């Protein structure tokens, strides 16, 4: 399914229509447009993570091992964390992608921890469990995404 998905990404990019990618979407859009995605050599990012997005701090949930290592030409890194250098990318005002999951509330992370904990380093799982009740910025990012889609474009 990857080659047809990459073709779709190219078609949307060529059309000028807006596109948002989350986690795998962030990765496959970067890959389709010429970036490099790889399994990160420092393991998994799990649970609540603080991201710097153009000088603003946002706390969002993450669950990934693969990440964008080299953004495609023309993509601007607009978000990062200590674990993920290219956590959010902007492709002009048309495409916005991010590695974290603004759609994941704490129960989703808790479920993933219970289901996949054997695949993730124990210390990362324990840290994620301790962060389950901490506040995040999901709603704020969700609003920014809605505004991104509604924005008038030439």
| Catalytic positions, written as ranges | 23, 101, 103
Which has the closest alpha carbon to 98: 151, 131, 49, 133?
49
- Sequence length of the chain is 154
| Rounded-to-integer distance, Cα 66 and Cα 99, Å | 9
Alpha helices in 16-154 (DSSP H): 24-32, 106-116, 122-130, 138-150
CA 104 to chain CA mean position, Å: 11
Tokens of 5: 């998905």
The answer to whether 84 and 97 are in contact (CB under 8 A) is no
Q: In this structure, what token pair is assigned to residue 88?
A: 């959010």
Copy the structure tokens of residue 56.
């603003």
Phi, psi angle pair for 20, to nearest 5°:
-125, 140
């Amino acid at each position: 399914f990857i080659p047809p998905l990459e073709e779709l990404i190219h078609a949307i990019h060529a059309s000028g229509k807006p596109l948002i990618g989350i986690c795998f979407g962030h990765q496959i859009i970067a890959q389709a447009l010429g970036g490099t995605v790889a399994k990160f050599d420092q393991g998994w990012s799990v649970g609540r993570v603080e991201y710097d997005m153009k000088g603003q701090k946002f706390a969002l949930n993450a669950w990934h091992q693969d990440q964008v290592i080299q953004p495609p030409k023309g993509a601007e890194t607009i978000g990062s964390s200590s674990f993920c250098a290219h956590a959010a990318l902007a492709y002009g005002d048309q495409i916005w992608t991010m590695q974290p999951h603004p759609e994941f509330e704490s129960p989703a992370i808790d479920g993933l921890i219970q289901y996949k904990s054997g695949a993730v380093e124990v210390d990362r799982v324990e840290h994620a469990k301790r962060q389950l009740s901490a506040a995040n910025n999901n709603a704020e990012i969700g609003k920014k995404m809605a505004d991104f889609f509604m924005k008038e474009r030439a």
